[in-house]
Structure 1
């Protein structure tokens, strides 16, 4: 029995509300904003957001439109990555479900921030404009993932053992942001986030 006046467990730190600009960005993306905001807030816990980036993308799966949203939230100690998308339920084959996944990466594990600037008509480039489109690639983790498959040859009648072939890939994420498709503000936000994340991992 715990002594009188003490508690048997320590109270959990309060969850910090998301910044208003991050909440607005999630709402503008329009992909189940209540769900996305909740999973991001749950992953952040009691840490405040220093900088963020919200990226929404639409893809086509045969004749079905699929939506995806990625939220990157930088705190003083972590990079929180949230990704949500929808797909057909494998159990029923037709009912649509949404999945939302979060990952927390210590800043010490972020290996690099790579920006690729796409500049149309480079002969007309205006100094300081940095182009109309970027691809932001983030890498983290010390262990690469190895995907192995049995090696094959072009002879369909061959039954020899050709060993294995595979690819080695690291944990990373790549986002394409275009001012023409998403607006000047989205591109500027992505550049700001990249600068602040780069500064955080360089300390």
Structure 2
């Protein structure tokens, strides 16, 4: 995992410090390091998510770029971590986007993989006005919405990050699924 942290080129010592502190001496059995670069009007921003699986816990760590407190100030990174007992992981969702599905072969990497892990800390609520289906109706039908568990979600694309990154994400998803399949007490 340390090699993957170094390869991000994004404050690897900070990343390692945050992850190792959260591991608290428990060795990881698998890990996934995901670097995402985004662009806004004024800046290029980086975000790194580390998922580390131990025999008893899922450790997540995030490091993000933030604007300096004053113009021209020193760069600022914000790091956070969370340690989740494996018995609290509620779901592991793996989405695959496959181009030319008629030619897909077992074991081949999808073009894109989305890994979503939920343990109940965060939920996303999407609310929209309810309708009755009549385009002429002007009545207020209230609101409708969905609530989705969404503690961490990573999208890994072969186009952006390479096939090896997609395969690594799929391997980690399998390890996490295997670790959380035990019946709850």
TMscore range, shorter length? 0.7 to 0.9
- Structure 1: gaps of 5 or more residues: 1-21, 152-162
* SS of the residue 1:35 aligns to: helix
In the alignment, which of 44, 47, 55 is matched to residue 65 of structure 1? 44
Q: How many residues of Structure 1 are paired with residues of Structure 2 in the alignment? A: 168
TM-score, length of structure 2 as denominator length: 0.80
If asked which structure has higher relative contact order (CA below 8 Å, sep 6+), I would say 2
Indicate how the Cα distance of structure 1 residues 165 and 131 shifts in structure 2: closer, same or farther if over 3 A, else same.
Answer: closer
Deviation track 1:35-85 (CA, whole Å, cap 9, x = no partner) reads 101110011011010100000000012121000100000011110000001
**2:35 is aligned with 1:56:** yes
Deviation track 1:112-170 (CA, whole Å, cap 9, x = no partner) reads 111111111222223331522211111112x66587x9x9xxxxxxxxxxx99987443
**2:19 is aligned with 1:34:** no
Structural RMSD (CA): 2.6
Q: Distance in 1 between matches of 2:146 and 2:65?
A: 27
| 1:13-162 mapped onto 2 (5 Å cutoff) | 22-89=1-68, 91-92=69-70, 95=73, 96-141=75-120, 145=123
Conserved? CA contact 2:67–2:76, under 8 Å: yes
**Which is greater in Rg?**
1
- Structure 2: gaps of 5 or more residues: 130-141
In the alignment, which of 189, 193, 202 is matched to residue 172 of structure 2? 193
